[in-house]
Amino acid sequence: MEVEALEAILMDEFKEIHSGETGLSTSNRCFQITISQDEDPDGLITNPAQLALFFSHTERYPDEPPLLNVKSLQGIPSEDLRILKEKLQQEASENLGMAMIYTLVTSAKEWLDDRFSEDNDGGAEAEEAAKDDVVVPHGEPVTVDTFLAWRERYEAELALERAKLMPEAVLSAPKEKKLTGRQWFESGRAKGASTVTDEPDEEDEEDSDIDFDDEDFEDDEDDMLEHYLAEKSDSSIHTSRIVS
């Protein structure tokens, strides 16, 4: 009775087979049910997993489990087949006393879909992760202005690094002190600067002009005034001595 019902429900997926092809040790009638992974509506599964479930009723079925075996028809490793067979045998023990083959077929179908849909999901996730790993170039485009600004910053950083490597004695050495107005006059440089020819022409006059740079001395007005008053005082004292 159960065999006729299975044949009517499963149709082409159900057939009787010789026991020598099933791996079952029995002389009773043996049957094969083909179970396939559901088709993927997105078309990601190109080779769906497929297996054959073999069974044969025993003399005391359904009060004892049927003889069961599974075989890969496409894409199922032997370790997965072993796990599935143990699962079906366990379920058969739990359903004693009733016709159970269709229940076992349904369980095998669910296991097949769950097991290999995980692999497909993993492949899709790996593909998405690979897309995320693609490096998209970004940043400011290089132009003449941006390059010059970068080079200025780089040279400043390089000078700072060089300064860190210089001996402390070099860094602490005093710089050359600039001359004040008074020191410049007392050094005699003013006399040399004030010496000109009696009748210079325009070209000589231009050549003899001295261009005092700000780096030569500082315009210290207080020192200049102090020096001028000191010399005037000395001149007055000298004149008074001559008169007396």
pLDDT of the chain along its 244 residues, tens only? Answer: 899 999 999 999 999 999 999 999 999 999 999 999 887 666 666 788 999 999 999 999 999 999 999 999 999 999 999 999 999 999 999 999 999 999 999 999 999 999 887 655 545 555 565 555 555 555 667 788 887 888 888 888 887 777 766 666 555 555 555 556 666 666 665 555 555 444 455 555 454 455 555 544 445 555 555 666 666 566 555 555 554 5
Locate the domains of the chain by residue range: 1-119
If you search the block for the tokens 């950083």, which residue do you land on? Answer: 157
Q: Domain 1-119: which topology?
A: Ubiquitin Conjugating Enzyme (3.10.110)
Count of CB atoms situated within 10 Å of the CB of 114: 10
Structure tokens at 165: 């490597």
Residue 179 near residue 216 (C-beta atoms within 8 A):
yes
Position 54, amino acid: F
pTM of the model: 0.49
